[in-house]
A and B are shown apart, each in its own frame.
Chain A
């Protein structure tokens, strides 16, 4: 921020500066209002009507749409799928990313190359990733044939067609794509830890585990918290990978709130679908605010010119 707090003594000058700031912000604010606030307000309005997308809004139904959203078993199972992905991401994907970051932060041979390789999936587009994995996981595809080739034919599955398996396949694909990103985040965090602290720990006779547990991990926590936050929000809004690979099927076994939402738009239930979108928006907002309030607060303190 260019605003220097010490200048506040000259209040007149301060006022002029504020005017300038507001003037400069105006175009951005207008765009923000037009393309973000206005659509949100409109969605809220639509969500109160039974509306098929055509013609004027006529049938006002109050909060009925919201009641129906939560009453719909398909929405609840979609929400469950999102939560499963959230939990799996936190329990499996983040620790894996952290472990890999630790490994690639140490001085091993070819680590630059490995960093690039692990990060590469993140650079691919979602759609390409989805299509490629769909080909690999299809019945008698690369994976099934490889398993058979090494004598594990019994392990073959309907990776994307068995309702009991498909969600985990999707989780795997999403993790495959995003763990590199989280790894890079943590790697950056690790490299900010001053070398002296580790040296001091070594001199004090700390084992590798103790160095990790008492020096690296605490200092890495801000990064972990950001990584965790992105992971959770990403999992709650998961759409494109699911859509490309399974469209939420078979029989809704890999649906997420977003694919459920999109399906309702395709059913031409715009009022109802708007209600779904508000629910998703609300959920993400609540999670984000709580997280900021309780987890990220320490990290954000002193990060800007106070509130």
Chain B
């Protein structure tokens, strides 16, 4: 198996770092001036912060690593940054272009070439490029196990030394950190929770999704009795279903348990088996829309389409869900959805080691390729700056930069953002946290559980076998 011991150790390290940072996030400093990190005054301790953005870096060879051939002439050498992102719909695509244009205007020597791709196409293309050793300078990443493979292959750049002044404001940095080395920065964060149709809940005489698992199961029966399909899930795409399985694991195993699972690559513990059993209990209630086993996430007959057309009362999804509902209805904005959209956190599970402040979600970030020019890091820091985060946020809720929290105005998104900010632990999506192979196995076993086609312990063993634990 390719997963060696060092990987496991690293992953555990990454996780603990993630934990630490999210914990640090709780103390969120909201003191207005976000541009300047309230760090050292920079006069003494002169040699430590190598990257000082304040003055002209004209004669400062230390700041430009590994490029001694560079001409220190008055005119800076022209560089090109090859940037790949996946915001292929408007207005995001235009917003990102504007961000690049601004940066180019401020840095006349920098040319930014943007490649925009749809999510799946991007994943296929980046693989091919990586194999050819042709790594973009800056590209979309979700961190975790996928990134770790690229780190091990030496395809990405350690930027720790240059970004120390911005990481303090960012949530989710740990996803891009291995062995204390940082390879990218997050720009968007998210957390999974219930997006529910408050009108349908009301129709069944209910308020909002319950805050306990048992209460939720009771509500499911109440909704069914009222002739309402309780839950939409795209089990055909597998990953939407994996939110249920994973969040139950987080609740039942707790943060310590999740860290240990990642460290040992061993899912054969009671809390994971219990999570599988809870899925089977849920499936036995038949709470899902018709044909859920073949349904995808984003399709008219998928999870988002079912929710959008009021075909189900709730679904467990990330913060992008309302946007997808709106898109299914042909609407510009989530605020135009003709039913009342509500958000509720995942319930507590009795007897579980987890606490409600332990979240499950993920981050979107950009990673710096191995041959990227130093300006790439400057550009990355620019992207994650509060100003740019504000600029792109209307279409990209939940900025990673906490200094830009003021842009989150939708009450539901505020609830998600508050949940993230209050979280003491954020477990990253399991299918991104582990290597693609293990992630796919988690998803596959989830689908089998949703089809009642495997046992909880077999599912746990199968994932463990793939993870090599």
Chain A residues within 8 Å of B, Cβ to Cβ: 50, 52-55, 59, 134-135, 138-141, 158, 160-163, 166, 246-247, 249-252, 263, 266-270
Chain B residues lying within 8 Å of A134, measured Cβ to Cβ, are 301
Once the chains bind, are B435 and A268 in contact (CB under 8 Å)? yes
Once the chains bind, are A268 and B294 in contact (CB under 8 Å)? no
Chain B residues lying within 8 Å of A59, measured Cβ to Cβ, are 2
A54, A263, A266: most-surrounded residue (chain B CB, <10 A): A54
Which chain A residue lies CB-closest to B438? A267
Once the chains bind, are A161 and B150 in contact (CB under 8 Å)? no
Once the chains bind, are A54 and B149 in contact (CB under 8 Å)? yes
**In the complex, B440 has a CB within 8 A of chain A:** yes
Chain B residues lying within 8 Å of A270, measured Cβ to Cβ, are 131
In the bound complex, what is the Cα–Cα distance between A136 and B123 (angstroms)?
Answer: 30
Name 14 A/B residue pairs within 8 A (Cβ), A-sorted: A55-B154, A135-B301, A138-B291, A138-B300, A139-B291, A141-B301, A161-B295, A163-B453, A247-B236, A249-B236, A249-B293, A251-B448, A251-B453, A268-B127
In the bound complex, what is the Cα–Cα distance between A160 and B300 (angstroms)?
Answer: 15
**In the complex, B283 has a CB within 8 A of chain A:** no
Once the chains bind, are A266 and B436 in contact (CB under 8 Å)? yes
**In the complex, B282 has a CB within 8 A of chain A:** no
* Contact among A52, A140, A251 with B435 in the assembled complex (CB-CB below 8 Å): A52
In the bound complex, what is the Cα–Cα distance between A158 and B292 (angstroms)?
Answer: 9
**In the complex, B270 has a CB within 8 A of chain A:** no
Once the chains bind, are B453 and A54 in contact (CB under 8 Å)? no
Task: Kindly provide the distance from the CB of B150 to the nearest chain A CB, expressed in whole angstroms.
Answer: 6
In the bound complex, what is the Cα–Cα distance between A135 and B300 (angstroms)?
Answer: 9
Once the chains bind, are B436 and A268 in contact (CB under 8 Å)? yes
Once the chains bind, are A250 and B447 in contact (CB under 8 Å)? yes
Chain B residues lying within 8 Å of A166, measured Cβ to Cβ, are 294
Chain A residues lying within 8 Å of B294, measured Cβ to Cβ, are 158, 160-162, 166, 246, 249-250
Once the chains bind, are A139 and B236 in contact (CB under 8 Å)? no
16 additional contacts (CB under 8 A) given A55-B153, A161-B236, A161-B291? A52-B2, A54-B130, A54-B131, A54-B150, A54-B155, A55-B152, A55-B154, A134-B301, A162-B293, A162-B294, A251-B447, A252-B444, A268-B149, A268-B436, A269-B437, A270-B131
In the bound complex, what is the Cα–Cα distance between A53 and B133 (angstroms)?
Answer: 11
In the bound complex, what is the Cα–Cα distance between A250 and B292 (angstroms)?
Answer: 9
Task: Tell me the count of chain B residues lying within 8 A, CB to CB, of chain A.
Answer: 34
In the bound complex, what is the Cα–Cα distance between A210 and B437 (angstroms)?
Answer: 59
**In the complex, B451 has a CB within 8 A of chain A:** yes
Chain B residues lying within 8 Å of A52, measured Cβ to Cβ, are 2, 149, 435, 437
Once the chains bind, are A266 and B440 in contact (CB under 8 Å)? yes
* Contact among B236, B290, B440, B447 with A140 in the assembled complex (CB-CB below 8 Å): B290
Which chain B residue lies CB-closest to A248? B236
- CB-CB under 8 A for A54 and B152, given A250-B235, A267-B440: yes
Once the chains bind, are B436 and A267 in contact (CB under 8 Å)? yes
Q: List B residues 265-285 near A (Cβ within 8 Å).
A: none
Chain A residues lying within 8 Å of B150, measured Cβ to Cβ, are 54
Which chain A residue lies CB-closest to B437? A267
Chain A residues lying within 8 Å of B291, measured Cβ to Cβ, are 138-139, 158, 160-161
In the bound complex, what is the Cα–Cα distance between A163 and B154 (angstroms)?
Answer: 42
Which chain B residue lies CB-closest to A272? B437
Task: Kindly provide the distance from the CB of B92 to the nearest chain A CB, expressed in whole angstroms.
Answer: 25
Interface flags for B103-140 (1: CB within 8 Å of A; 0: not) read 00000000000000000000100010011000000000
The 9 A-B residue pairs with the shortest CB-CB distance in the complex, in nearest-first order:
A161-B294, A54-B153, A55-B153, A139-B291, A161-B291, A250-B293, A139-B290, A268-B436, A138-B301
In the bound complex, what is the Cα–Cα distance between A94 and B27 (angstroms)?
Answer: 71
Task: Kindly provide the distance from the CB of B422 to the nearest chain A CB, expressed in whole angstroms.
Answer: 35
Which chain A residue lies CB-closest to B154? A55
Which chain A residue lies CB-closest to B128? A53
Which chain B residue lies CB-closest to A268? B436
Chain B residues lying within 8 Å of A246, measured Cβ to Cβ, are 236, 294
